[in-house]
């Protein structure tokens, strides 16, 4: 990740754009703590991360109950599409699990990006009779590099004594679209495996050595669900929604950890000092005991000098609500609430948005 950011806040050149979650789903709702001067409604549009979509659905639904004059439409189209739409100016805010690096900031108008949720990527699999699979970083990298080809491979069996692992061929599923979920997962693989780091590397899109692509978390989950011997990666909520089994993953402390809000929060809290220096710091492969190793943030992209003062106020009010009341709604959706110090950094960042023209 790039650049040290004053007070942990990234302010850079970014434009307006939108994104897609692979399911093409949109959410329209109303909610804002400010009332339009003329008594009418204000409409906000956002697009991007599929990873954050379950949280966004919940937030806009709850927010509209007390703020009926603000319409919020979020398009879950994927981080890559969200950044593109934000940059093009077709949406009021973008959402991405891959923070914008310095090299891309110069192509955009001045932007603030703030993390609003932390959540885990899970390794979902479909192996009948195997319900408590444990995977090391070496086994995960070997599978997604195409080097481990069957479920009874010694690299998997070594951590699963007593499990009846079949000789079934492994069938990999991965994202085909520009994806923040992929960004988190490939950052993890790059952190734990030199062959991956020097090969496919980390990014919203990579050249996958093996596997079948699916658009959005839902499609990847669907591919695994219908493929015996299948394996893939999704955000935790999508795994639960689709009834998929997911593996425990060995962390840098040598513990096999189940993805949960608690184990994600441990990773986020363990990185707080680094996040104060650069809000884009990844939290994968944490060395803190109890931390789940494959997790990250979703960042909201906001124009620092908006053209519409009323829209800007409505958006900032909504985001501040997300950072306060909205965090309490995340546990049931299997996200981790942000550390208080990170919430404070975000509020400081949002306070720098101008009142508009």
Please report the pLDDT score of residue 18 as a whole number: 32
Domains present along the chain, CATH in parentheses: 6-118+296-350 (3.40.190.10), 121-277 (3.40.190.10)
For the entire predicted model, the pTM comes to 0.85
> Which pLDDT does position 96 carry in this prediction?
94
Residue 354, pLDDT score: 80
User: What span, in angstroms and rounded, lies between the C-alpha atoms of 105 and 12?
Assistant: 6
The predicted structure's pLDDT at residue 9: 36
**Six-digit token pair at 178?**
């520009």
Give the pLDDT of residue 301: 96
Give the per-residue pLDDT at 40.
75
| Structural tokens at position 236 | 């935790």
DSSP annotation of 6 reads G
Query: Whole-angstrom Cα distance, residue 320 to residue 63?
Result: 11
Cα–Cα dist 255/50, whole Å: 29
Q: CA 191 to CA 133: how far, in whole Å? A: 22
Q: What are 79's two structure tokens?
A: 């981080």
pLDDT value for 239: 94
SS3 172: strand
- 309-342 as b/e, with b when 16 or more CB fall inside 10 Å? ebbbbbbbbbbbbbbeebbebbeebbbbbbbeeb
pLDDT value at residue 62: 96
Q: Please give the pLDDT value at position 31.
A: 36
Question: Which residues pair with residue 171 across a beta bridge?
Answer: 230
Q: What is the pLDDT of residue 240?
A: 93
pLDDT tens digits in sequence order for the chain, 357 residues long: 333 333 333 333 333 333 333 333 333 333 334 444 445 799 999 999 999 999 999 999 999 999 999 999 999 999 999 999 999 999 999 999 999 998 887 888 899 999 999 999 999 999 999 999 999 999 999 999 999 999 999 999 999 999 999 999 999 999 999 899 999 999 999 999 999 999 999 999 999 999 999 999 999 999 999 999 999 999 999 999 999 999 999 999 999 999 999 999 999 999 999 999 999 999 999 999 999 999 999 999 999 999 899 999 999 999 999 999 999 999 889 999 999 999 999 999 999 998 654
CB-CB contact of 28 with 63 (8 Å): no
């Amino acid at each position: 990740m790039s650049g040290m950011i004053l007070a942990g806040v990234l302010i850079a050149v970014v434009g307006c754009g939108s994104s897609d979650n692979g399911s093409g789903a949109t959410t329209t709702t109303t909610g804002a703590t400010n009332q339009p001067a003329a008594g009418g409604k204000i409409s906000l549009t956002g697009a991007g991360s599929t990873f954050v979509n379950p949280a966004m659905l919940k937030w806009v639904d709850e927010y509209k109950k007390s703020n009926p004059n603000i319409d919020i439409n979020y398009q879950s189209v994927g981080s890559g599409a969200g950044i593109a739409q934000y940059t093009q100016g077709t949406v009021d805010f973008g959402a991405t699990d891959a923070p914008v690096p310095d090299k891309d900031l110069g192509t955009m108008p001045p932007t603030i990006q703030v993390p609003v949720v932390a959540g885990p990527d899970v390794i979902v699999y479909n192996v009948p009779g195997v319900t408590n699979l444990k995977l090391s970083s070496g086994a995960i990298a070997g599978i997604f590099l195409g080097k481990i080809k069957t479920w009874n491979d010694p690299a998997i069996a070594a951590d699963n004594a007593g499990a009846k692992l079949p000789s079934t061929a492994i069938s990999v599923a991965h994202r085909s679209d520009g994806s923040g979920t992929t960004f988190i997962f490939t950052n993890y693989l790059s952190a734990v495996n030199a062959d991956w780091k020097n090969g496919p590397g980390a990014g919203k899109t990579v050249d996958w050595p093996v596997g079948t692509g699916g658009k959005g978390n839902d499609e990847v989950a669907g591919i695994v669900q219908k493929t015996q011997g299948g394996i893939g990666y999704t955000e935790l909520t999508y795994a639960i929604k689709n009834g998929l089994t997911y593996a425990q993953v060995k962390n840098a402390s040598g513990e096999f950890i189940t993805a949960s809000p608690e184990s994600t929060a441990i990773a986020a809290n363990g990185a707080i000092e680094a996040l104060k220096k650069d809000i884009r710091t990844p939290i994968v492969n944490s060395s803190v005991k109890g931390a789940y190793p494959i997790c990250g943030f979703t960042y909201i992209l906001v124009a620092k000098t908006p053209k519409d003062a009323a829209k800007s106020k409505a958006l900032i009010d909504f985001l501040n609500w997300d950072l306060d009341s909205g965090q309490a709604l995340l546990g049931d959706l299997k996200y981790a609430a942000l550390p208080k110090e990170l919430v404070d950094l975000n509020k400081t960042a949002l306070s720098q948005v101008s009142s508009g023209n």
